[in-house]
Amino acid sequence: MLKKQQFVNQIAGSIEQELAVAAPELRKSGLIFTFPLNEGMAGWIGLNIASSRSDGLIGVNPVVGVRSEQVEILVKQLGGETRGGPSATVSTALGYLMPEKRFLEWLFEQSPGFDYVSEAKKIALAIESYGIPFMRTTASLGAVIENLEHLRFSFKESAMYRLPVAYLLGDKLDLAASYVNDQMQAMAGRQDASAFRYREFAKAVIERAALLAS
C-alpha cells in the first residue's frame, strides 16, 4: 500500500490534471497551485490535507484565493512574509463559496476499491464552479483592499501585513501609515516574537510611505 503522502500526491496529481484543462498555465508548488488571471494577479489554490483523522480517512480541504504579485513581493521586501512558496493575498476554504456556505472536506479512503480519481475530479469541478469565479471577481487591487478591509475572505493576522501594503500600492499613503500605527497601538506592551516582527514591518511601511510621499 502507498504511504499516505504518496496517496496525497496522487490525489493532488489528479486534481492538477483536471484543473489544467480549465487553467492551462497552472503552476504547481508542493500542494499549492497558481495560474495567471490578469496582469499581476494570479488564482491561488492550496490543498489543506487532514491526514491524521482518527477514522483513517484523508480529508482534503481546498483553499482558494488570489495572489497579488505586487502585494506579496512588497510584503516580503518589508519583512512581513518569509514563507517559501507562493502565498495568497486573500483566501478562503472553498466550502464557504459554495451554496452551502460552510466548511466542506472531501474524504478519501486509501483502499484499492476507492475511486480517488473521480473524487479528485469532483474537487476540481467545485474549484472551477465556485473558486475560479471568486478569483476573477477578486482579481484587482481595489477588490483585494475591499476584502482585506472588511476581512471578508481573510483574517486579521493576514490583513495586518497585506492591507497597508495594498494601500501603499494604491497610493493611499496616509492610510497605510495610520493603519500600521493603529496596529502597533493595539499590541502595545506585547513582548512576543510576532509583535516584534510586526513592529519592524510597520516601521518599514512608514518609511516607505514617507519615501513615496517625498
Task: Go through the chain and tell me how many residues it has.
Answer: 214
- In the complex, the smallest distance separating the C-beta of residue 95 from other proteins, rounded to whole angstroms, is 8
Which of 51-59, 166-174, 176-184, 204-212 is the region at the interface with other proteins (rule: CB under 8 A)? 51-59
Indicate whether 102 belongs to the interface with other proteins (CB under 8 A): yes
Indicate whether 133 belongs to the interface with other proteins (CB under 8 A): no
Contacts of 115 (CB under 8 A, 6+ apart): none
Give phi and psi for 28, each to the nearest 5. -120, 135
| Gap between the Cα atoms of 163 and 149, Å rounded | 7
The smaller minimum CB distance to other proteins, of residues 85 and 142, is found at 85
Answer for which of 24, 157, 189, 214 binds other proteins (CB under 8 A) is 157
Cα angle: 121, vertex 154, 187; to 5 degrees: 150
Binders of other proteins in range 8-37 (CB under 8 A): 30-32
Cell output for 179: 493603519
CB-count exposure of residue 186 (10 Å: 0-12, 13-18, 19+) = exposed
| Gap between the Cα atoms of 211 and 12, Å rounded | 44
Indicate whether 106 belongs to the interface with other proteins (CB under 8 A): yes
Return residues touching other proteins (CB under 8 A): 30-32, 44, 46-57, 59, 61, 63, 65, 81-85, 87-88, 91-93, 96, 98-100, 102-107, 109, 111, 114-115, 118, 122, 125-126, 129, 151, 154-159, 161, 187, 190, 192-195, 197
